[in-house]
Amino acid sequence: MYKIKLQDFEGPLDLLLFFIKRDELDIYDIPISKITREFMEYLHLLEQLDLEIAGDFILMAATLMQIKVKMLLPKEIDEKGEEIDPRAELVKALLEYKRYKEMSEEFSYLESNMRHYHFRSNFDEDEKQAPNDLNVLLKNVTLYDLIKAFKKAIIEKPAEPVHEIKKWNVTIDEQMEYISQKLDGGKQISFIELMKDLASKIRIVVTFIAMLEMVKAGKIGLRESKSLNDFIIYGFANG
Amino acid sequence: MDNIYISVVEALIFAADDPLSSNEIITAIKAIDGNDISITEEEIEQTVDDLNERYSQNGNAFKILKIANGYIYATKPDHAKYVGFLSTEKSKRRLSQAALETLAIIAYKQPLTKPELESIRGVNSDYTINTLLEKNLITIQGRAETVGRPLLYCTTDEFLKYFGLKNITDLPKPREIEEIMKDEDFIEQKRRIMMSGIEETIENEVENNNDNEPEIEIEDESTPE
């Protein structure tokens, strides 16, 4: 089994060129079914890999299959009365790509060449510099000055706002249980009374939600109260 | 051109950070000594040749390169090992195959849009384009007049400098398609012959630099780990 690494190919065209070269195929007379099969095999290898790259390959696979189908059909005729080779477009693309691929090798050669030349001020961004003399680094600055400046910077820094996140040990289920207890034995209770004993805001919120849940579940009922902004909670016998 | 300007040309090129064009040299000289000074681009080129001749006779470690539409001093390849030791950053990094391919296409087809580039390469090239833009090897020239007004990319002077090209017409000549077909393996063989010597020296350099990685660092867009 021939194993190929993905990084060896810059794309589907590169891969096709590889097949053509490896099997010494005639680029002007590509055996489409053979190359499509090989291409698909490679695609299966790619399946687990990067989708975007695979996307380009899938497009090529579709193109190959389209060409394969067209090869089976009667040849189309162009306006000059000549047969149109369904592969012509692909061959053109391959040749064009091949041309620039070769040029990139020339560029690679030029690049290697230029690596032997070094321009002036080449060391600008380098870290391998001789450390400067201490007198140059600290011009008329004493250790004491540094400490003073540092302290000043620390003190003058505005206090950062601190956000504290607390975990509330209260759940809707607990509060539903709490409401049930209050109504135990057919008692009624006003909403304000129910909330009266609750220590914190979050507990009130959760209890309120618990109450709504119980109403929804049909376990308790609410009715109008005489006092303003209040109502009476009552339990059902079976609840 | 008066002989006193030989050292003026030398000084100007020496002091410049980037390749200095003959136009800039002429402008500087005329600005100081008046417009009636007779000095031409050809004379400057001749002066540079003479200077290089002199450097070579004296066994100097540097010479003036004619690249990126101008002149710039560079140390000779013989000393690359030593100079490269101090500038590890630059000697290690090389362009990836994807970047070289993209650059080649842009160089010959410029100005061109991303869709045009991608239709030749057959792959998405966002990452490569961004890398090349970051390295200042290509730049955005404007927008095409076609639908959607896509951006047009072209190469920069930095590109010429990077590859040691004199100007954009100095690009290696792409072969005609018919020619490519005649000798399928020609380039491959030629490349192997050319590269084997070079790769060796580079590897030695890298080893001399106490580099831990035996392989030259290559950026690659298409290598998901």
Q: Tell me which residues of chain A, numbers 91 to 120, contact chain B at a CB-CB cutoff of 8 Å.
A: 93, 95-120
- Which of the residues B76, B97, B199, B220 would you substitute to probe the A interface, choosing the one with the greatest number of A C-beta atoms within 10 Å? B97
Across the interface, whether the CB atoms of B100 and A102 are under 8 A apart is answered no
- Which of the residues B18, B65, B123 would you substitute to probe the A interface, choosing the one with the greatest number of A C-beta atoms within 10 Å? B123
Of B17, B101, B175, which has the smallest distance from its Cβ to A10's Cβ? B101
The residue in chain B having the minimum alpha-carbon distance to the alpha carbon of residue A102 is B187
B180 pLDDT more than 80: no
pLDDT category of residue A134 using cuts at 50, 70 and 90? low
Token pair of A225 as six digits: 């109260």
Across the interface, whether the CB atoms of B123 and A53 are under 8 A apart is answered yes
Q: Among A46-55, A185-194, B20-29, which is the least confidently predicted range?
A: A46-55
B88 pLDDT more than 70: no
pLDDT category of residue B60 using cuts at 50, 70 and 90? very high
Residues of A in contact with B224 (CB under 8 A): 6, 49-50, 53
Strand partners, B218: B94
Across the interface, whether the CB atoms of B199 and A49 are under 8 A apart is answered no
Closest CA relative to residue A108, chosen from B38, B162, B145:
B162
Residue B211: what pLDDT?
Answer: 44
Residues of B in contact with A121 (CB under 8 A): 17
Across the interface, whether the CB atoms of A118 and B174 are under 8 A apart is answered no
The residue in chain B having the minimum alpha-carbon distance to the alpha carbon of residue A10 is B98
DSSP assignment string, B142-189: EE-SSTT--EEEEE-HHHHHHHT-SSGGGSPPPPPHHHHHHTTTHHHH
By CB atoms closer than 10 A (0-12, 13-18, 19+), residue A76 is exposed
ipTM reported for the complex, 2 dp: 0.71
Instruction: Measure the CA–CA gap between B181 and B175, rounded to whole angstroms.
Output: 10
Residue A170: what pLDDT?
Answer: 85
- Which of the residues A9, A108, A124, A128 would you substitute to probe the B interface, choosing the one with the greatest number of B C-beta atoms within 10 Å? A108
Residue B132: what pLDDT?
Answer: 92
Strand partners, B155: B138
Please tell me the distance in Å from B208's CA to the nearest CA on chain A. 15
Task: Summarize pLDDT for A17-60 with one digit per residue, the tens.
Answer: 888 888 888 888 888 888 999 888 888 777 766 555 567 888 88
Q: Among A142-146, A159-163, B182-186, which is the least confidently predicted range?
A: B182-186
Strand partners, A221: A234
Q: Are B103 and B95 in contact (CB under 8 A)?
A: yes
Q: What is the mean pLDDT of residues A87-105?
A: 89
Task: Summarize pLDDT for A215-228 with one digit per residue, the tens.
Answer: 888 888 888 877 77
Of A11, A95, A103, which has the smallest distance from its Cβ to B123's Cβ? A11
A54 touches chain B (CB under 8 A): no
Instruction: Measure the CA–CA gap between A9 and A12, rounded to whole angstroms.
Output: 8
C-alpha distances out from residue B214 to B92, B195, B217, B222, Å? 11, 17, 9, 21
The residue in chain A having the minimum alpha-carbon distance to the alpha carbon of residue B95 is A108
Across the interface, whether the CB atoms of A6 and B222 are under 8 A apart is answered yes
- Which of the residues B76, B81, B96, B100 would you substitute to probe the A interface, choosing the one with the greatest number of A C-beta atoms within 10 Å? B100
Strand partners, B71: B20, B66
A135 pLDDT more than 50: yes
pLDDT category of residue A187 using cuts at 50, 70 and 90? confident
The residue in chain B having the minimum alpha-carbon distance to the alpha carbon of residue A105 is B191
Please tell me the distance in Å from B175's CA to the nearest CA on chain A. 7
- pLDDT, greater one: B128 or B88: B128
Closest CA relative to residue B128, chosen from A3, A11, A155, A43:
A11
Across the interface, whether the CB atoms of A103 and B108 are under 8 A apart is answered yes
The residue in chain B having the minimum alpha-carbon distance to the alpha carbon of residue A129 is B86
Across the interface, whether the CB atoms of B123 and A104 are under 8 A apart is answered no
The residue in chain B having the minimum alpha-carbon distance to the alpha carbon of residue A26 is B181
The residue in chain A having the minimum alpha-carbon distance to the alpha carbon of residue B173 is A103
